[in-house]
Structure 1
Amino acid sequence: MHFKKWITIIPLVSTLLLSGCSLIEPLVYRIDIAQGNYVEQPDVDKLRIGMTKEQVRYVLGSPMLVQNGYPDTWFYIYHFTHGHDDSVQKNFVVKFDSQSQKLAAASGDFEVSSEFNTPLN
């Protein structure tokens, strides 16, 4: 009779112990991880069609990615993971005219300003 009590208690205890591991997970500290180019809307608002590559680099910083064979397309990618929360990724692509090497287009998770199509004097 004493043996039957243990047989019913062992699965119950093991289930409680295993479910306790999931309760510990939120208590484990995870660092924030930021990777890539942090781009802000006020910086994107400064972009104007016809800017040189040097001017764009001054405003946004160096691009995260320039693919081989496509030097006129710059990718600004920012990936952020805050501890246990979901990751956030922001992408912004800048394209230059291959002939003039001037800024021709920009798109992504940031809106270009209404003055984007007004060249700098």
Structure 2
Amino acid sequence: MQLKKWLIALPLAMTMLTGCSVLEKLVYRIDINQGNYVEQQSVDQLKFGMSKEQVRFVLGSPMLVENGYPNVWYYIYYHTHGHNKPIQRNLIANFDPQGRLVEVTGDYPVSDAFFESIN
């Protein structure tokens, strides 16, 4: 009689423990996009010395401008695709005290034309 209980309980316990990981992949998860989606084409349009208004026109409004540091703009993009690992891309635009673009850092390379004149 004791053996019959084990023969039923053991497969039932194994099914319950493994079922969670298998069933999770069957549950649909929506794609989640948060922040500023920035394309490389937009970053290629940036030029040294652009005003804040010009940068806002090219890239859109920044995701974050810290209090006390108004000359550093953060463009952060976070994407979760279903059950895959999330992707985060960052772009940081630094301005001088006069509001002119002096540096772009992050996950997007600047173009070779970045230091050309903004005529």
Q: What does 1:30-109 correspond to in 2, within 5 Å?
A: 30-98=29-97, 100-109=98-107
Shift of 1:78: 0.2
Shift of 1:19: 1.3
Shift of 1:14: 1.7
Shift of 1:10: 1.3
TM normalised by structure 2 equals 0.94
Tell me if structure 2 keeps the 8 A contact 1:51–1:119: no
Counterpart among 86, 93, 110 of residue 112 in structure 1: 110
Residues 11-49 of structure 1 show CA distances to partners (whole Å, capped at 9, x for unaligned) of 232212321232111110111100000000000000001
Question: SS at 1:59's partner residue?
Answer: helix
Identity across matched positions, percent: 52
Residues 41-74 of structure 1 show CA distances to partners (whole Å, capped at 9, x for unaligned) of 0000000011110000000000000000000000
- 1:29 aligns to what? 28
Bigger Rg over Cα:
1
Count of matched residue positions in the alignment of Structure 1 and Structure 2: 119
Gaps of 5+ in 2: none
Q: RMSD of the TM alignment (CA)? A: 1.2
Q: In structure 1, what is the Cα distance between the partners aligned to 2:69 and 2:17? A: 52
Higher mean C-alpha deviation, range 38-47 or range 22-31: 22-31
Moved over 6 A (4+): none
Q: In structure 1, what is the Cα distance between the partners aligned to 2:69 and 2:6? A: 68
Q: In structure 1, what is the Cα distance between the partners aligned to 2:117 and 2:100? A: 10
Gaps of 5+ in 1: none
